[in-house]
Chains A and B, each alone.
Chain A
């Protein structure tokens, strides 16, 4: 489960890499490292969990591949070292969690080293190193869980290699200890931890039963479920984000995690009973996706309405319900639009507010047009000079005198409007609104200051800048340069 699930966060490349590596233990070091880099290069879009997991799983892979050949204790120490470096690079915070991680990790570490000792007689130095390297382990709450998980992975791989009984026992021990530590942490933390304990216990259960069937089949099924659940997780998260504003997306994520968590639980229990083919897992996944999609359905669906439980099913009431839902949805949107309307309920009052808002906006337009009218009488309105580049819009031939107006004013407006392509997030007007306000404050003084600034920002730079930026979609650079060179 875990490896492939972890790698699901990394991307399809990693998943493709993984099975080949499972088969051939050669060249292990390079590919996990590349996937490790992948994990680091990708931005942390979803919660930190997925990427931490991916990094840790990449770590898991390398020692697991080395395991058949190399020294286990050394490998484990290497793992922990890398884990610590990951945590440092991720730059995650408080030390209380680090303690949790330490407590959760160290018992498994102990068990690992114990088993190593049993097998190969490696000294207990690895333990101390592990503890010291776990100290910079300022990790997520999930990190402790994932760390424990990978330890169990390491153990699981040992199943294929070493004595099954001893390892199984160690696996159980690690599970118990890690779950205990996680439970202890849980009391302090909260919702996310409960997910992790669920997963841990499930995972532990899997470990204990996996020792019997054999590593490869378990890994295959786990791989499928892992990819499945990770895909589900990813699908649920973007869906949630797409539908709901960014503010509420953190609220969405815990429910998504819980959903996927419960799903994993179901899947693993199923797998415990029988060796399920991937098709069944896919059906489970699709079922869960359907459940996830249900709360979002009313938002998309206008025509096709399912009769809810306890409601009349005749066509009239259904149509009524559709109508009401449509209206309520639009009212909600209008509530978001009209400022200060959140607490208002009831159609009539809402309509009142909307009417007031539209009326006020219209009045504002009137007022602004009046103000512009007063201004224009004083000013020759240089901004018009920027428009000649737009001639293909207007069918009226422009007098060439317009080109003779100041190059600078057109340039500045160009600049103003040319900012737009460079800024994807902030919109043009916000930027332009910001700009004049900075100008207005120091009217004459600002210009003297600006001279020094302008020394660097020469005409050539401006021209190049404008030309490079382009302007909107339909930008022809030649007219702009013509305009800039106009006298």
Chain B
């Protein structure tokens, strides 16, 4: 639904811009630095392309924790840097209220246990704990997921998964093109111009 070509295009553009800004192709970077820079560009690009969603904000928040990257991020995102300025206060409130909620739930579940038959309790509690565990894992996976409840978490997961897929596709594409470029002589401009003729096939 959202994997339109324009979305992918924006992502590609942003990612390549990020590559350029972080000077990825220069030789004075270690492998790990380069890899991190690439990943950083890719993540920033995908967050930019997606627009204002919870996970994109969380992602940018995570990315900007590193001060060095912050400038690059600002340059990359430009006006969109105000993605961060969305309601962050939610994340502060919810953890506290979660403790209270958990306490209440525990009490209510014990009360319910007393009322129900044994096998029912076992099944329901088992199912609930399983689901809870998985939801916890999911919250760690999705950027900015800690501050979300069940529904919105599922929504954001969906969104995030689709964007990840687009990210993977875009990076794979860039990889292939650069690999293809690698095989020919980079200085021969005529050879390079030939490549468009393949595009039509």
Contacts and interface: CB of A to CB of B under 8 A. Distances in A.
Interface of A: 323, 326-327, 330-331, 333-334, 337-338, 347-348, 351-352, 354-355, 357-359, 361-362, 364-366, 368-384, 386-387, 390, 393-396, 406-409, 411-413, 415-417, 419-420, 423, 426-429, 431-433, 435-440, 443-444, 446-447, 450-451, 453-454, 457, 459, 462, 472-473
Bin chain B's interface residue count.
35 or more
B4 to A, nearest CB: 7
A274 B36 CA distance: 79
B47 interface: no
Contacts of B127: 347-348
A358 B160 contact: yes
B180 A382 contact: no
A372 B167 CA distance: 13
Given A383-B16, A412-B195, A362 B27 contact: no
Contacts of A416: 177, 196, 199
Nearest to B196: A415
Given A334-B161, A393-B17, 16 more contacts: A330-B154, A337-B161, A354-B161, A365-B43, A369-B36, A369-B38, A376-B38, A377-B34, A395-B74, A396-B21, A413-B177, A439-B180, A450-B195, A454-B190, A454-B194, A473-B6
Contacts of A473: 6
B16 A386 contact: yes
B164 A379 contact: no
Contact of A408 (B141, B151, B166, B190): B190
B101 interface: no
Given A355-B134, A406-B189, A429-B170, A370 B182 contact: no
A348 B131 contact: yes
Interface string B115-139: 0000000000001001100110110
A220 to B, nearest CB: 45
Interface in B1-26: 3-6, 8-10, 12-14, 16-17, 19-21, 24-25
Nearest to B140: A355
Contacts of A396: 21, 75
Contacts of A395: 74-75, 78
Given A393-B17, A429-B173, A381 B180 contact: no
A372 B27 contact: no
B67 interface: no
B87 to A, nearest CB: 22
Interface string B164-201: 11111111111111111111101001111111111101
Majority secondary structure, A binding face = helix
A407 B189 contact: yes
A379 B182 contact: yes
Majority secondary structure, B binding face = helix
A447 B177 contact: no
Contacts of B175: 368, 371-372, 375
B28 to A, nearest CB: 11
A375 B196 contact: no
Contacts of B179: 375, 436, 440
A390 B17 CA distance: 9
A423 B10 CA distance: 16
Contacts of B8: 427-429
A394 B151 contact: no
Given A381-B24, A387-B13, A409 B134 contact: no
Given A351-B138, A407-B189, A436-B177, A365 B131 contact: no
Given A375-B179, A433-B173, A450 B197 contact: yes
Contact of B39 (A365, A412, A437): A365
